[in-house]
Amino acid sequence: MSKVLIAALITAVIALGVVVALYASASPLWYSSGPQRVLLQKLEEALKDYIIVHIGESNPLLDEVMKMCRNVTQVVSFKDIESPLQLVQSNAQKKILVVFSGDYLDKAVSDQKFINSLRRLHNACGEERCTYLAIGGKTQRLLSALRYAGIHGHTSNNLTIEISTRLWDPLDWNPPVVGVRFNPWTDGVKKWLADSILICYNPATMESLTECIPEWLQYKAPCTPSVQIQSSQPQHLTTLAYLRVIDSYPHGRLNVIIDVYHSANDGNPDYDWYFYVVNIQSVPGKVAYGSDWETADHDAYHTLDSLDAGKTNWFVDYGPTTTFGYTSASSIATVSLGITVVYTYNIPWIAIRDRSDFSEYRIEWIHDFNEQNDDSLYGPSSNICTVKPGFVVEAKNVAICDSGLHYCWTSTYAHVVARYKIAFGHPMLWRWKYKTFTSPTIYLYVSNGRSYTW
């Protein structure tokens, strides 16, 4: 090989390195080197009925996600929120995914003209056709914008479900992606809308971040989880999807999706009951990143806000409790919450350690995987595994009235505070090496209230 050719090759490699370095410095996350075919298939399946409407300015994260989405569906960009109204009205058979930059929302949310236009856009969509995303920047402002515009779910008895902005700690922290959508529900008699909130917490790569969107769009909780109908049937109130609550390359991920059900027509005007079904999904590095890291154990810790514990909120039931040893693949965990909700889930070769304590307002489970001894190919430590423990919060009715304004607000609420931890391990020559990750504090706040004037 001639010296000239070698020099040319060296120059090309250096130039390529400069381009890669510039791209990496401009983008907070990166796409893994593996094939993106699976990601595109997920996007195509989830977005096949959608038109994506991007409104306002952009940012590097948003640009990358939109670039991927353009491969599978129509993406239309508008400079202002008034412009897409005609597109929405003329595509009545299509669902609309409305996408904002968080920083654009931060500037627009105090503009009443923007809030009015957002309300008109949502009304043009109908109750459940529009889904909203904020990507990059001050993403939590999406929740504020929708609240100011009066966009939220409604129960069948006209109670308003307020979208809480207290979803993480600290309050000024902004996840890379926040989303809100509204799912229609019916039990055969009543109809209502239940909101679903996406918090793509801490994705390790651009691929992982982008995957949050189709995973959330395709998730749908059962109307009631294998309910035994007694005097009161709970109805689905909200879904809080904390995807990538922990995500570390090459170790693995932890996703947590909480479905909250609310007791309705129970005949007790002073108290309500909130049923939390906590879907905890472990994704070891073997699956997420093609490494040799497996799931070792995870810890789900729930308590009540100190201002409410023992005053307006109480834990009154939960399940499952401790299991003896590592149970077989055919074992079933039964969760019986009060007299109303009963459901089951598999616990294959996993030991459950119950650390709950009613007197300390604590519900906690450790799911211990048998990573060193279970099947290396089919065992839960080497594969995606979802467990579904649950608990019940009893909530006292609270009334706040202002006689001067002739205004009253009555509500029950459940203020649950959570933290999740997961450990991954992988074999070395003579021992296993482990690494543990802990989530930030998460606020699982829900309420079901009515406001009125006289």
Is residue 92 in some structural domain? no
Low-confidence ranges of the chain (pLDDT < 70): 1-35, 152-172, 186-190, 222-233, 264-267, 325-341, 402-409, 449-454
pTM, entire model: 0.83
Closest of 173, 301, 181, 158 to residue 239, by C-alpha: 181
Task: State the pLDDT at residue 336.
Answer: 60
pLDDT score at 87:
93
Query: 199-225: buried (b, 16+ CB within 10 Å) or exposed (e) per residue?
Result: bbbbbbbbbbbbbbbbbbbebebebbb
Token couple for 49? 């009925």
Domain annotation covers residue 116: no
Tokens describing residue 269 = 């005007």
Question: How many angstroms separate the CA atoms of 28 and 156, rounded?
Answer: 43
pLDDT at 290: 92
Q: In terms of residue numbers, what domain contains 343?
A: 221-454
pLDDT at 335: 62
- 257 domain residue, yes or no: yes
pLDDT of residue 187: 63
> Can you tell me the distance from the alpha carbon of 401 to that of 418, in angstroms, rounded to the nearest whole number?
31
Q: Tell me what pLDDT residue 165 has.
A: 46
Domains contained in the chain, number: 1
Q: Is residue 360 situated within a structural domain?
A: yes
Residue showing tokens 């049937």: 233
In a domain, 437, yes or no: yes
Per-residue pLDDT tens digits for 279-315: 999 999 999 999 999 999 999 999 999 999 999 999 9
Residue 120 lies in a domain: no
Res 315: pLDDT: 94
- Reduce the secondary structure of 272-341 to three states and give it as a string: EEEEEEEEEEEEEHHHHCCCCCEEEEEEEEEEECCCCECCCEEEEEEECCCCCCCCCCCCEEEEEECCCE
Distances (CA, A) of 197 to 151, 181, 185: 13, 7, 16
Please give the pLDDT value at position 19. 35
Q: How far apart are the first and last CA of the chain?
A: 90
Q: What's the pLDDT score for residue 23?
A: 37
Q: What is the pLDDT of residues 224-262, one digit of tens each?
A: 444 443 445 677 778 899 999 999 999 999 999 998 888
Task: Answer whether residue 391 is part of any domain.
Answer: yes
| Spatial contact of 61 and 209, defined as CB atoms under 8 Å apart | yes
User: What is the pLDDT, as a whole number, of residue 80?
Assistant: 92
The answer to the question of residue 10 being in a domain is no
**For position 151, what pLDDT does the model report?**
83
